Amino acid sequence: MSKKLYIFFLLLLFSISLFSTNYNLNLEVLKVKPLKLSFNANDNAINFRISIEEKEPFLKEQNLFFKKIKVKTGEQNFSFFLDIPTYNSEMGIGFKYNTYNSILLGIIKYDYFNTFNFKSNNYYIFQGFNTYFSIPTITIGSFNNFFLNINSEVYSFSRIGFKLQRFLELPLFLNFGRNFETGIQVLSFDKYYSTGIFGGISYNKNKIYVLGDISTKLNLLKKDFIVGFGLMYNEEYKYRIYLISDTKNFPIYIYFNECGGGIFAEL
What are the tens digits of pLDDT across the range 49-90?
888 888 888 887 777 777 777 778 888 889 898 888 887 778
Show Cβ contacts of residue 154 under 8 Å, excluding neighbours closer than 6 positions: 147, 148
Of 22 and 96, the one with more pLDDT = 96
| Residue 188 identity | S
pLDDT averaged over every residue in the chain: 80
Q: Over 50: is that where the pLDDT of 1 sits? A: no
d(CA 166, CA 191): 17
SS3 at position 109: strand
Q: Quick one: CA dihedral 144, 264, 217, 114, positive or negative? A: negative
Q: Over 60: is that where the pLDDT of 16 sits? A: no
User: Does residue 140 contact residue 192 with C-beta atoms inside 8 Å?
Assistant: yes
Per-residue pLDDT of 127-181, as tens digits, reads 888 899 888 888 899 988 888 777 777 777 788 888 887 777 778 888 776 678 8
User: Does residue 89 contact residue 80 with C-beta atoms inside 8 Å?
Assistant: no
* Residues forming beta bridges with residue 44, ordered by sequence position: none
Show Cβ contacts of residue 69 under 8 Å, excluding neighbours closer than 6 positions: 61, 62, 63
Q: Quick one: CA dihedral 78, 81, 87, 88, positive or negative? A: positive
Total structural domains in the chain?
A: 1
d(CA 87, CA 144): 36
Helix extents (H) in the chain: 3-18
What is each CA distance from 106 to 110, 134, 142, in whole angstroms? 10, 8, 14
What's the mean pLDDT in 182-204? 88
User: Does residue 250 contact residue 262 with C-beta atoms inside 8 Å?
Assistant: no
Band of the pLDDT at 102, cuts 50, 70, 90? confident
Q: What is the Rg, in whole angstroms, of the alpha carbon atoms belonging to the chain?
A: 20
Q: Quick one: CA dihedral 135, 162, 265, 124, positive or negative? A: negative
- Domain of residue 10: give its range: 3-265
What's the mean pLDDT in 228-248? 84
pLDDT of amino acid 3? 56
Q: Over 60: is that where the pLDDT of 107 sits? A: yes
User: Does residue 195 contact residue 141 with C-beta atoms inside 8 Å?
Assistant: no
